[in-house]
Amino acid sequence: MSDQTDLPPPIIALCGKGGVGKTSLSALLTTILAADPKRRVLAVDADPAAGLAAALGLEVARTVDDVRNELIGRLRQGIREEGRDMQALADYRLFEALEERDNIALLAIGRPESEGCYCRVNDFLKVLVGELAAGFDAVVIDGEAGIEQVNRRVMTGVSHLVLVTDPSERGRRVAESIADVAERAGMRARIGLLVNRVREEGEVRRIQAATRLPVIGYVPEDEAVYRSAREGLDMTGLTDNPARFALERAASSFIGFRSAI
């Protein structure tokens, strides 16, 4: 990151149960990190249902899955290419798939990979996405709901795994099972629980007493966040906002970045 040049850029993934606020908080976190104009932030929409682009005021023209299908199509047509040429094409297409505004870039993954057959294409796309990420000062990944991505080890390069939950019991349990899978898979990320949509003190105490995970922060229920998601609005304009302040506090101590404000 630009303020900690000796450390590799943080790759932060937000995972958790469906509907707990992963996309909203990913958009806010991207905005918080990008508030420092020297910091280039890559936001990755890894949820096939998408939504992060709209929350960042961007439009997706091409996804990683589209690039993958194009490459597979060429293999199927029997276009024989040197690995080098295919790599160059994939590189170029991925670069085209980046949507950028100021110091924020967005890459949408599209559909999850089907297992098996096209390992070669899948493998080097993984490498290329990794290389692409290395060109940024921070990466924020909006994960799909549930445990699958951690299970499929798509999150191998992640340095910080933020498990998002609402104050519900089910949300907390899903977060904990993701943590179990991540630990069993040998994922080396730092793991923390972020409690979203908190309305009252009692919810904070209940979660604290129940969870074995380190709680990194609490984000309040916030009318502006609610409205933005419901109306599909750009959230980058939410500056003077309690949810954003709470997330900024939680993230700066968990990830260790210096706040721009």
Ligand X SMILES: Nc1ncnc2c1ncn2[C@@H]1O[C@H](COP(=O)(O)OP(=O)(O)OP(=O)(O)O)[C@@H](O)[C@H]1O
Residues that bind Mg ion (CB under 5 A): 22-23, 47, 51
Nearest approach, Cβ of residue 80 and ligand X (Å): 40
**Residue among 112 and 256 whose Cβ is closer to ligand X:** 112
Residue with tokens 């160059």: 88
Could you tell which of ligand X, Mg ion, none binds residue 245, using a CB distance below 5 to 8 A set by kind? none
Quote the CA–CA distance of 181 and 260 in Å, as a whole number: 34
Compute CA 240 distance to the chain's CA centroid, rounded to the nearest angstrom. Answer: 23
Quote the CA–CA distance of 5 and 12 in Å, as a whole number: 17
Could you tell which of Mg ion, ligand X, none binds residue 137, using a CB distance below 5 to 8 A set by kind? none
Could you tell which of ligand X, Mg ion, none binds residue 160, using a CB distance below 5 to 8 A set by kind? none
Residues 58-117 that bind ligand X (CB under 6 A): none
Could you tell which of Mg ion, ligand X, none binds residue 24, using a CB distance below 5 to 8 A set by kind? ligand X
3-state secondary structure the chain: CCCCCCCCCCEEEEEECCCCCHHHHHHHHHHHHHCCCCCCEEEEECCCCCCHHHHCCCCCCCCHHHHHHHHHHHHHCCCCCCHHHHHHHHHHHHHHHCEEECCEEEEECCCCCCCCCCHHHHHHHHHHHHHHHHCCCEEEEEEEECCHHHHCCCCCCCCEEEEEECCCHHHHHHHHHHHHHHHHCCCCCEEEEEEEEECCHHHHHHHHHHCCCCEEEEEECCHHHHHHHHCCCCCCCCCCCHHHHHHHHHHHHHHCCCCCC
Nearest approach, Cβ of residue 84 and Mg ion (Å): 37
Residues 14-33 that bind ligand X (CB under 6 A): 18-24
Nearest approach, Cβ of residue 48 and ligand X (Å): 10
- Choosing from 36, 45, 47, 99, the residue that interacts with ligand X (CB under 6 A) is 47
Nearest approach, Cβ of residue 233 and ligand X (Å): 10
Residues 123-182 that bind ligand X (CB under 6 A): 145
- Say whether residue 50 binds ligand X (CB under 6 A): no
**Residue among 24 and 241 whose Cβ is closer to Mg ion:** 24
Could you tell which of ligand X, Mg ion, none binds residue 197, using a CB distance below 5 to 8 A set by kind? ligand X
Interface pattern 207-226 for ligand X (x via CB under 6 A): ------------x-xx--xx
Nearest approach, Cβ of residue 45 and ligand X (Å): 10
Strand partners, 215: 193
Given the rule CB under 6 A, which residues bind ligand X? Answer: 18-24, 47, 49, 51, 145, 196-197, 219, 221-222, 225-226, 229-230, 243
